[in-house]
Amino acid sequence: MELDPDFVKEFACLKISTRDISAEELAKFDANVPLKARAQVKHTSYKHVPQFFYVPPPPDDKLRHLLRREAQSLFLQQKSEELLNNEELQQLWRLLEQHVTETTAKQQLISYDDYCRLRSTLDKKCRKYLTTCLFAQLLSESPYLGSVEIASVFNYTMRKVWLTQCRIGLSFYDDVGQGYLREFDLENYIVDLIPTLGQICDCMDPAFEKFYVCTVVKRFYFFLDPLRTGRIRIREMLVSGLIHQLMELRDEPKPTESGPVHLNPFSMPAVLAVYGSFLNLDLDHNGLLSKQELSRYGSGTLTSVFMDRVFEECHTYDGEMDYKTYLGFVLALENRQVHPPRCTTYSVCWTCSTPAT
């Protein structure tokens, strides 16, 4: 195990006491006696209600900050080692097939008795996934009396491993250690993730990377941070489905059948479409959109009153809109019917958005 060099350096320069220690005090010091906890004034309510929140160390307390980060890193590494790898998942599937109770025309079923026998053959690492509660939950949704599909058990295990793996990966970028990511934390995560996205890294122009990252981060914050707190909880990122859409870009695109094609919003064609529309509106090529330029958006039917209200509500630079603000504008227009609470910034403008005649 290798510690963070910054932490080691900071610890080496640590000053234990602000005063000189006398020889008598050093002689009385016993290294075997546990150190006393630092005296802290506790709130009177702690006698009845336990403390749920611990204030993170301030930015100027570098040693505590590095110590917390090092402890978090070791904890996440330990959790990562508890995950099932591909070989263990394949072994689980083979054991499930060996304990099948009944085989129908379409599915392989397992009863609770065989499920318990299966659990007895598993090691501790794998057994924690196949719990009694899992069987009861799957049984309540199963159309088969007293049995569940082994595919459902296996899919649940794979899904849980994948979600835990994603949560660990996101938590490595949680610099504060409070279970959420700030905007630049998420940007760092996306930048490091791009080389693993086969559909993105192969066609990514280095000059376009910052615009791709900006587009991805803005979509996350639009849907998961409607109150503009500047941070997103990692748990909400996992349950939202956005991470799943992003991870789909790791695999090669599947051949489309004759039917409606659903474009991944994080794919390169989708991001280029939004960025291309911004460039087409930017007539003077200064990287910003004026009211006149933005009024050409879509079919050009946005009224001047609507545009005035938009520029009053949005953050602008000398009365012009940058690409990041433009992304919020586009997402709000595209999702005003589906996700109206997330379009609160533009809600005051909807009554003015009648087509120009």
pLDDT on residue 177: 84
Q: What's the rounded mean pLDDT across residues 282-304?
A: 87
Q: 86-163 belongs to which CATH class?
A: mainly alpha
Q: What's the rounded mean pLDDT across residues 166-172?
A: 95
pLDDT on residue 16: 56
Give the pLDDT confidence of 223-270 residue by residue, as tens digits. Answer: 999 888 999 999 999 999 899 999 999 887 766 554 455 789 999 999
Higher pLDDT, 286 or 65: 286
Give the pLDDT confidence of 56-105 residue by residue, as tens digits. Answer: 777 777 878 888 888 889 999 999 999 999 999 999 999 999 999 999 88
Give the pLDDT confidence of 95-139 residue by residue, as tens digits. Answer: 999 999 999 888 899 999 999 999 999 999 999 999 999 999 999
pLDDT on residue 354: 45
Out of 59-73, 146-160, 244-258, 324-338, the most confident range is 146-160
Contact 201, 195 (CB under 8 A): yes
Average confidence score pLDDT of the chain: 85
Q: Which of 349, 341, 295 is nearest to 321 (CA)?
A: 295
Contact 290, 319 (CB under 8 A): yes
Q: What's the rounded mean pLDDT across residues 182-193?
A: 95
> Is pLDDT above 50 for 322?
yes
Q: DSSP letter at 295?
A: T
Contact 99, 117 (CB under 8 A): yes
Distance (Å, whole) CA 293 – CA 283: 7
Burial of 189 (0-12, 13-18, 19+ CB in 10 A): buried
Tokens of 251: 């695999």
Burial of 206 (0-12, 13-18, 19+ CB in 10 A): exposed
Q: What's the rounded mean pLDDT across residues 180-197?
A: 95
By percentage, how much of the chain surpasses pLDDT 70? 85
Distance (Å, whole) CA 338 – CA 222: 13
pLDDT on residue 22: 79
Q: Looking at 81-90, 159-168, 332-341, which range is the least confident one?
A: 332-341
| pLDDT band for position 324 (cuts 50, 70, 90) | very high
> Is pLDDT above 60 for 183?
yes
Whether domain 176-250 has CATH 3.30.160.110: the reply is no
> Is pLDDT above 70 for 346?
no
pLDDT on residue 301: 79
pLDDT on residue 8: 62
pLDDT on residue 352: 46
> Is pLDDT above 90 for 35?
no
Residue spans of the domains in the chain: they are 86-163, 176-250, 268-352
Tokens of 155: 């899919």
Distance (Å, whole) CA 249 – CA 198: 6
pLDDT on residue 69: 84
Torsion from C-alpha of 57, 61, 65, 68, nearest 10 degrees? -60
Q: Any idea which fold 268-352 has?
A: Recoverin; domain 1 (1.10.238)
> Is pLDDT above 60 for 349?
no
Contact 209, 197 (CB under 8 A): no
| pLDDT band for position 32 (cuts 50, 70, 90) | confident
